[in-house]
Amino acid sequence: MPRIVEYIISNGMNAEGELFRVKKDWVVRFVPDVSLVGLNIRFFINYPGPGSDTFDRSAYRELQFINPTISKKEVDCFDNYFELSSLSVSGSFRFYFSTDGSAPAPPSDGILNNSIAGSGYITVDPHFRGKFGGSGSPDDERDWDLDGVVLQSYVSKYLGPFDEWESRLATAFEGKYNMIHFTPMQNHVGAPFTGTTNFTHLQAGSSVVSLWLNPALARPAREFGYRKEV
């Protein structure tokens, strides 16, 4: 059985600075508090629909009000909730709701439409799977969640030529880190190699991202690039 968690929503709420974390495969029930009793609530969220893993920040869908009572009568509304299940996509997702039965436009740049009675966010933690050991057997694969990430960050320009990296990264392997982060390695266009700047550059009037390693990381007469793993 999946774990069920409740998120209490209230009239006029703005949870912009609050963090509500859940894990994949959990079920979230958005439960109205007493300030919403008797109001015509409509609830919208930009979490992808069932069977979809494509996220569009501006695409909101409506969740239906669930009445779990035996009578199913409208007056028996104190246990009603909106349910979000089948959490298969990780990330941060926004929700909002109205109390007058309307379907207002989504919030824009932090500005709430007058018809929006409340809004907030949920964060679905990522789930990782990796191989431990060198046999290549499925038995070597392990699962861990965000709380289990042990990360080592490296400033790429201090690692020297690319073909020397393996020995320098061995300490992270021997130290049982399970994730490595590198500062950007691409070749800067018209800028010094700081190893920490954004790699979107303007070339010939268009925005491009360099796919070549900085020359400082390569040996003379050798080129390194990137390949896309399918």
Instruction: Tell whether 134 is covered by a domain.
Output: no
22/212: higher pLDDT? 22
By DSSP bridging, strand 81-84 and strand 27-32 are antiparallel
Q: Tell me if 223 is assigned to some domain.
A: no
pLDDT higher at 116 or 209? 116
What mean pLDDT comes out for the span 21-42? 94
Interacting residues of 141 by C-beta distance below 8 A, sequence separation 6+: 129, 130, 131, 132
Contact predicate 76/117, CB 8 Å: no
Rounded Cα gap, residues 163 and 159, in angstroms? 10
In a domain, 224, yes or no: no
User: Based on the domain organization, do 114 and 212 belong to the same domain?
Assistant: no
The mean-pLDDT minimum among 5-19, 60-74, 123-137, 200-214 falls in 200-214
Are residues 114 and 18 part of one domain? yes
Q: Is the pLDDT of residue 76 over 50?
A: yes
- 171, pLDDT greater than 50: yes
- If asked whether residues 166 and 76 sit together in one domain, one would say no
Q: Predicted confidence band at 79 (pLDDT cuts at 50, 70, 90)?
A: confident
* End residue of a domain, out of 127, 160, 188: 127
Give Cα separations from 53 to 46, 56, 89 (angstroms).
12, 10, 6
Please state, rounded to an integer, the average pLDDT across all residues of the chain.
81
The answer to whether position 140 is within a domain reads: no
Question: What confidence score (pLDDT) does residue 213 get?
Answer: 65
What local confidence, expressed as pLDDT, does residue 205 receive? 43
In total, how many domains does the chain have?
Answer: 2
Decide which of 153 and 185 is more confident. 153
Q: What is the pLDDT of residues 90-121, one digit of tens each?
A: 999 999 999 999 999 998 766 677 889 999 99
pLDDT computed for residue 110 by the predictor = 63
pLDDT confidence tier of residue 219, bands split at 50, 70 and 90 = confident
Top mean-pLDDT range of 55-64, 103-112, 152-161:
55-64
With 90 as the cut, is the pLDDT of residue 45 above it? yes
User: Are 118 and 12 part of one and the same domain?
Assistant: yes
**Is residue 210 pLDDT above 70, yes or no?**
no
Domain membership of residue 34 as a residue range: 4-127
pLDDT at 203 > cutoff 50: no
Do 68 and 13 lie in a common domain? yes
Look at 103-112, 149-158, 184-193, 199-208 and tell me which has the smallest mean pLDDT.
199-208
Tell me: pLDDT of 127 over 50: yes
